[in-house]
Amino acid sequence: MRLGHMSERGMTELSKQGLLDGYKTGKLNFCEHCVFGKQCRVKFSMAVHMTNGTLDYIHSDLWGPSKVPSKGGGRYMLTFIDDFSRKVWIYILKYKNEVFV
């Protein structure tokens, strides 16, 4: 009989009823897989900002350094995204400190 990952309380109850042959009642080891299986995903809350026009709300991100440089030698990528129009601007940078220039 295969039980999979049953709780310690459930195993003890089956043992008391004589349904488990050869099972010694005792403390079960910690099972990381059981803990991960019981976790639930928490949803992100909805965005609270409202945009009425272009350039009202801009998202930005700096990515890098890249292992392989671009043709011009850039290893970083700076992106801007307009929340209203979804227009994207991308700038390739050689150095991270060029963000402030």
pTM (whole model) above 0.85: no
72-87 confidence digits (pLDDT tens): 999 999 999 999 999 9
At 1, the pLDDT band (50, 70, 90 cuts) reads very low
- 48 within domain boundaries: no
The whole-angstrom separation of Cα 28 and Cα 8 is: 6
Kindly state whether residues 63 and 29 are assigned to the same domain.
no
- What residues pair up with 59 in beta bridges, in sequence order? 81
Quickly state the pLDDT bin for 40 (edges 50, 70, 90).
confident
| Residue 74 maps to a domain | yes
Same domain, 34 and 63: no
Domain that holds residue 94: 58-100
What per-residue string of b and e applies to 69-92 under the rule 16 or more CB within 10 Å gives b?
eeeeebbbbbeeebbeeeeeeeeb
Give the number of domains in the chain: 2
Write the pLDDT tens digit of every residue in 42-58. Answer: 888 887 888 899 999 99
Instruction: Tell me if 89 is assigned to some domain.
Output: yes
Token pair of 36 as six digits:
């991960």
- Tokens 């220039």 locate to 101
